[in-house]
Amino acid sequence: NDASFDVPTRPEDFDWDEHFPEFLQEWRERQQKQQQDAGDAAGPSSSASDTPVVRFVDIGCGFGGLLVKLSTIYPDTLMLGMEIRDKVSAYVRERIAALRREQPGSYRNASVLRTNAMKYLPNYFKKGQLTKMFFLFPDPHFKTANHRRRIINSHLLTEYAHLLAPGGWLYTISDVPELGDWMKAKLDAHPLFERVSEEELEADPAAGLLALSSEEGQKVARNGGATFRNVYRRLEAPRPM
Ligand code: SAM
């Protein structure tokens, strides 16, 4: 339940150094060195607004398979898994800690947070901050009465569009045909999203990871199940509907 985790009131209040200590420390040291090399008079010193921020989020990240893959493909990008289950998020935290220990210098850009992503994303991220949002095999909530609990819905898509930078991508995949259709229909109907073409998906390293990198995707593949991938771009301005 929500009472058992803290939520920042505003993104500025959150301490990202707890999640990415080596990455941010090294960035600051590099900045300092560059300023020293350039001489103190050479220009404005870097401000807190230049500090790297989370760009990728994996919503309902489960056991973290996608994050771990993305971390080495995009080593310079901060990324965060968000997972509501306490034990599962603790597992991912330990998984990343172990990888950081075993491979010094790697996996410093990936972390996980236990939270309810349907309620609290704006507490963690600012407008336009994210460049990729991933929704891999979200819970289907089959009953009509429970459709409002689906993590892709018209209301939440507006929130996701707010947090995504123009040109940012929202990735979805499901093995449930009905949910795949649902996510496609909601995204097609939203004025701030447009479908990404197959050619662009071919050229995108992250799109190739959707089916097989996560634990749920691997389970579906073992059972020979089909998957339905729908990826959309956040538009600069609403398109005429
Ligand atoms: N994406 C992972 C994968 O592909 O292996 C996990 C898929 S699993 C079917 C759905 C996950 O979403 C579960 O781990 C569940 O706990 C998490 N989840 C459901 N609702 C959530 C919410 N509101 N906030 C964060 N995580 C949530």
**ipTM above 0.95 for this complex:** yes
CA 163 to ligand 1 centroid distance, Å: 20
Instruction: Give the residue from 68, 67, 70 showing the smallest Cα distance to 59.
Output: 67
Amino acid of residue 3: A
Angle at 121 between CA 54 and CA 19, to 5 degrees: 40
CA 100 to ligand 1 centroid distance, Å: 24
Instruction: Show binding-site residues for S-adenosyl-L-methionine.
Output: 60, 83-84, 116-117, 136, 214-216
The pLDDT of residue 218: 98
Cite the DSSP H helix spans in the chain: 21-38, 65-73, 86-102, 117-124, 154-163, 177-188, 198-202, 215-222
The pLDDT of residue 50: 87
Atom of ligand 1 lying closest to residue 217 CA: 4
Q: Is residue 37 annotated as a catalytic residue, yes or no?
A: no
The pLDDT of residue 5: 84
The pLDDT of residue 203: 97
CA 118 to ligand 1 centroid distance, Å: 11
Residue-level pLDDT, tens digit, the chain, 241 residues: 556 788 999 999 999 999 999 999 999 999 999 989 988 655 666 666 689 999 999 999 999 999 999 999 999 999 999 999 999 999 999 999 999 999 999 999 999 999 999 999 999 999 999 999 999 999 999 999 999 999 999 999 999 999 999 999 999 999 999 999 999 999 999 999 999 999 999 999 999 999 999 999 999 999 999 999 999 999 999 999 8
Angle at 207 between CA 65 and CA 133, to 5 degrees: 70
Angle at 20 between CA 24 and CA 44, to 5 degrees: 20
| 118 pocket-lining for ligand 1 (C-beta < 6 Å) | yes
The pLDDT of residue 44: 61
Q: At what angle do helices 86-102 and 65-73 cross, to 10 degrees?
A: 30
